[in-house]
Structure 1
Amino acid sequence: MKIALIAHDKKKDLMIELAKTFVNVLKKHQLFATGTTGRLIIEHTGLDVRRMKSGPLGGDQQIGSMVADGQLDLVIFLRDPLTAQPHEPDVSALLRLCDVFAIPLATNLSSARIMLKALEEEQIENQFHLRKDE
């Protein structure tokens, strides 16, 4: 599966811990991340992660484009709902695209753990993914 990993600044430590906990699951899949999140995951886990731009510099839009083009199967976006984000329209667009294309989306640690546990137990497949031409 192709998985995107994104975390707002105040959630990056949680993303690192999540990646460490599920490193054996994540290493079996293609990983993509926004800039700083990807760098931190690589540094702390050694996972192979293709990095996009930083979220505020277009990384969220790059991930959204991948969703729209059918290039992602699952998105984990640990959001900080209590801090204003300068790129909130990009965040909203990405979340909307996940809904439009039926891409499983976790926006907090609990839902991310459930998704990765299901992936670990092979209970989740890319059957949810709509093709671009559908």
Structure 2
Amino acid sequence: MTGRPMLALVAHDAKKDAMVDFALRNHDKLKPYGLVATGTTGQRISERCPTLDITPLKSGPLGGDQQIGAMIAEGALNGLIFFIDPLSPMPHDVDVKALMRLAVVYDLPMALNLTTAEILLRSARLRGLESTSTIPEISVSKL
């Protein structure tokens, strides 16, 4: 992996074509990132966008989701784009929920559909230009 901002790309089976199309359309915007992607998603993006710097991980159900979760916990990612399929049952649904929970816990920018992914790519925070801010605690006495 590189010293560049890092972005994880994940897509459920029914959304892999959408992720590949997203990568093709946003090739120039993705080029500055070090990318990690789970199994088949990463393979398919690499085939269509061979000049992108993609580090392949295991397939989601075989541990790829946990690999990305570990990267989130270590602070190694700047963002997560996860095209989910809410209409199909997922045998590894617990892994998917854990990954999304980690993104929320660590305040990692996360996009779960095409529209938010497009917005996320325009984010200064995702590009590593804006540091992560902590949410100030509010004293109960001030309420």
Q: TM-score, normalised by structure 2?
A: 0.84
Distance 2:119 2:101 in 1: 21
- Residue 31, structure 1, aligned to residue 35, structure 2: yes
**Structure 2 residue matching 1:128: 3-state secondary structure:** coil
- Residue 10, structure 1, aligned to residue 40, structure 2: no
Larger helix fraction of residues: 1
Distance 2:73 2:89 in 1: 26
Which of 1 and 2 has greater Rg?
A: 2
Distance 2:53 2:126 in 1: 21
RMSD of the TM alignment (CA)?
1.5
Percent of paired sites with the same residue: 47
Structure 1 residues 42 and 20, CA gap change in structure 2 (3 angstroms): same
User: Which 4+ runs in 1 deviate beyond 6 A?
Assistant: none
Deviation of 1:36 after TM superposition, in Å, equals 0.5
Q: How many residues align?
A: 127
Structure 1 unmatched runs, 5+: none
Structure 2 unmatched runs, 5+: 135-143
Structure 1 residues 42 and 129, CA gap change in structure 2 (3 angstroms): farther
Structure 1 residues 37 and 16, CA gap change in structure 2 (3 angstroms): same
Q: In the alignment, which residue of structure 2 is the partner of 1:41? A: 45
